[in-house]
Amino acid sequence: MDNEILIYIGSAIIILWGIAHLIPTKAIVKGFGDISADNKKVLAMEILAEGMTLIFLGVLPLLLTFMSDKDVLVNRTIFICAIMLLVMALLTLFTGARTSVIWYKICPAVKTVAAVLFILGSVL
Question: Is the predicted pLDDT of residue 113 greater than 90, yes or no?
Answer: yes
Positive or negative, the CA dihedral 80, 84, 85, 89 is positive
Map out the domains of the chain as residue ranges.
Answer: 2-123
- pTM of structure: 0.94
pLDDT of residue 44: 97
**Angle at CA 43, nearest 5°, toward 40 and 45?**
105
pLDDT of residue 124: 81
pLDDT digits (tens, 9 = 90+) for 39-91: 999 999 999 999 999 999 999 999 999 998 878 999 999 999 999 999 999 99
Question: Is the predicted pLDDT of residue 1 greater than 70, yes or no?
Answer: no
